[in-house]
Amino acid sequence: MAGGLLAAATTARLPHTQKGPHIVILMSFDIDGTLEVGDPPGVLTMAMVKRVQEQGFVIGSCSDRPISAQRAIWARHHIAVDFAVGKLMLPEVKAKFMADVYYHIGDREDLDRKYALEAGFEFLWPHEALVQPWFL
């Protein structure tokens, strides 16, 4: 599994001309209020997260929870994420992973939406993300 994670991260950093015809999408998830395991629980299930990962998305979390707590949540659900960072670290995520599109999904205007847009990410509210074709 570690080889798959390394391969996904390496592919994400390749220039577009070396990736082939596939579009690379990076998806950052807030936890609380966004994912079903959050406090409060959100509408996105861990099965949905696994679904986008299986489609080749670069995935991870950007939360105000400690990084160790974020990683523990992913580990409990057997999801090997590409990153787990604090709310202010979206610019670093964008610098580390080359993708065609960057999304952050979150439930707060003052933290999630604001920081996502400042970092150059597309922003989706959980109820907007829920109906995207990647999750269906």
Classify each residue of 74-99 as buried b or exposed e, where b means 16 or more C-beta atoms within 10 Å of its C-beta: beeeeeebbbbbbbebbeebbebbbb
The proportion of the chain whose per-residue pLDDT surpasses 70, expressed as a percent, equals: 85
Question: What distance in Å separates the CA atoms of residue 46 and residue 135, rounded to the nearest whole number?
Answer: 11
Kindly report, residue by residue over 36-59, the tens digit of the pLDDT. Answer: 999 999 999 999 999 999 999 999
Kindly report, residue by residue over 55-110, the tens digit of the pLDDT. Answer: 999 999 999 999 999 999 999 999 999 999 999 999 999 999 999 999 999 999 99
By CB atoms closer than 10 A (0-12, 13-18, 19+), residue 2 is: exposed
Question: What distance in Å separates the CA atoms of residue 80 and residue 53, rounded to the nearest whole number?
Answer: 9
pLDDT surpassing 60 at residue 12: no
CATH architecture group of domain 2-13+21-129: 3-Layer(aba) Sandwich (3.40)
The predicted model scores a pTM of 0.84
Question: Which of 135 and 5 is assigned the larger pLDDT?
Answer: 135
pLDDT given at position 5:
35
pLDDT band, very low/low/confident/very high, at 10 (cuts 50, 70, 90): very low
Question: What distance in Å separates the CA atoms of residue 41 and residue 58, rounded to the nearest whole number?
Answer: 23
Task: Decide if 31 contacts 107 (C-beta within 8 A).
Answer: no
Q: Where are the domains of the chain?
A: 2-13+21-129
- SS3 of 24, please? coil
